[in-house]
Amino acid sequence: GAGVSQSPSNKVTEKGKDVELRCDPISGHTALYWYRQRLGQGLEFLIYFQGNSAPDKSGLPSDRFSAERTGESVSTLTIQRTQQEDSAVYLCASSFPTGVYGYTFGSGTRLTVV
Amino acid sequence: DQQVKQNSPSLSVQEGRISILNCDYTNSMFDYFLWYKKYPAEGPTFLISISSIKDKNEDGRFTVFLNKSAKHLSLHIVPSQPGDSAVYFCAASVQGAQKLVFGQGTRLTINP
């Protein structure tokens, strides 16, 4: 596709349930990033993929969070046993290996944990 | 520890005037700085960037200034237009790192 696609765009889940968020990067972009934005705050880095390996997962807030990527394509961010503090907009971005100079963000998934 | 700070949550400017958005950082290892613009329900889009070897970068109506001694950067928009109304984020990176550190954002409103 022409841009970074994220699904679902909105997700409401009950506390304690697991959720999966999906990101389809721009074709040819080998680097993929997950960020989240909690209300009134800036974007927080979660994890970075180069191909299907994750050289930097330092931003994952707890072991309830995990992510994987299939080759140089789709990535899935999984949050297990969701908590209310997980409510945020989860943003995915992709780029060529040049990295920070050329991010393209998706529109995000708004996750609400009730 | 908030390494990148945008201390003004909001700014209102009259159309045609200059908009100045400010950003401060604490990590002296940052060597590349970016500004992103975000409309509601959309992802941030890249606006302009500056390397730490420069103190100014200009692109059309947008100019970014970097003051390394003060650890401060600013984005100037001249003249401001209604379509500039959005949330603006500054971001910074350390050479070799793939991640960006973002500020909290400033909501800019351009009034007709």
The pLDDT tens digits for B95-111 are 877 889 999 999 999 99
* pLDDT for A40: 83
Render each residue's pLDDT in chain A as its tens digit; 114 residues.
579 999 999 999 999 999 999 999 999 899 999 999 998 888 999 999 999 899 899 999 999 999 999 888 999 999 999 999 999 999 999 998 766 667 899 999 999 999
Contacts of residue B37, defined as CB under 8 A and 6 or more positions apart, other chains included, come to B44, B45, B47, B86, B87, B88, B89
- Asked if B41 and A107 come within 8 Å (Cβ–Cβ), the reply is yes
Task: Choose the closest CB to A105 out of B43, B99, B104.
Answer: B43
Chain B residues inside the 8 Å CB shell of A91: 43-44
Tell me how close the Cα of B91 comes to any Cα of chain A, in angstroms. Answer: 9
Provide DSSP, A7-71: E-SEEEE-TT--EEEEEEPPTT--EEEEEEE-TTS-EEEEEEEETTEEEE-TT--STTEEEEE-T
A55 touches chain B (CB under 8 A): yes
| Integer-rounded Cα radius of gyration of chain B | 13
Report the distance separating Cα B38 and Cα B61, nearest Å. 17
- Asked if B43 and A40 come within 8 Å (Cβ–Cβ), the reply is no
> Can you tell me which residue has the tokens 């180069």?
A50
Chain center to CA of B73? 7
A107 touches chain B (CB under 8 A): yes
Structural tokens at position B28: 């002296």
Best A60, A100, A101 member to test B by mutation, with max B CBs in 10 Å, is: A100
pLDDT digits (tens, 9 = 90+) for B63-78: 999 999 999 999 999 9
